[in-house]
Amino acid sequence: MIDTLVTIEVVDADKAYRRTADTVHAVRSVSFRIEPGRITVLAGPSGSGKTTLLNLILGWESLDSGRIDGVPSTPTWSDLAVVPQSVGLLPHLTIRENVALPDRVNRPRYRAEDLMKALAIARLARRFPEETSLGEQQRTAIARALVSGPRLLILDEPSSHQDADNTERIVDSLTTAAADGTTVLVATHDERIISTGDHHLNMHDGRVETVRSH
């Protein structure tokens, strides 16, 4: 179990982009709370503002107004792990070396081999990313994010290149992490993941319109 849990609170977050004569409101006065030990799903169609909201939570973009509390300020792999849409594997490392990369700076919570087996990439251990499919690369990035047992895990469309069986493997891995105390936030429009979340935030046109928990 993770010793120090993370709760994220978003309060009246607002972000707009100004493009010549137009202003695009990507995030509009959004407020919600993300609890540890649960999978929170940020659902919504492409263009609804999900990725912008994730970037604001991560501090990769700045708020126009509002605040976001609880995100580790100087994160290590064990504090914060991110799986973006462009998975960011290191091309000169093998699949196994990419998964184990956080081990170089953090004490791993999970064995790389166990995660690779759970995500059906163990047979690829000695291959380089360019020798694998997009789906396999995506699962490698997820395994790398999980290996240190992060306090906060954020994923952007983690099943975009997955079939039903591999999506189930991803959900099982995220469920295990949440049970160990990780705060998990997943942005997706994939109903296969939406249906398994503990806490649902539905986003449309920059607004979180409904919140459901079970």
Summarize pLDDT for 26-50 with one digit per residue, the tens: 999 999 999 999 999 999 888 899 9
pLDDT classification of 24: cutoffs 50, 70, 90? confident
Q: How far is CA 4 from CA 90, 106, 130, 141, in A?
A: 30, 16, 37, 24
Domain 8-213 has CATH 3.40.50.300: yes
Rg (CA), the chain: 17
For residue 84, the model assigns a pLDDT of: 92
Which residue type occupies 129? P
For residue 4, the model assigns a pLDDT of: 83
Provide the residue ranges of all domains of the chain, joining segments of one domain with +.
Answer: 8-213
Helices and strands, number each (H, E), in the chain? 6, 9
Mean pLDDT of 1-8: 84
For residue 107, give both structure tokens: 């004490």
pLDDT classification of 72: cutoffs 50, 70, 90? confident
Contact residues for 39 (Cβ-Cβ < 8 A; gap 6+):
174, 175, 178, 184, 186, 196, 197, 198, 199
Q: How far is CA 161 from CA 87, 172, 203, in A?
A: 11, 17, 22
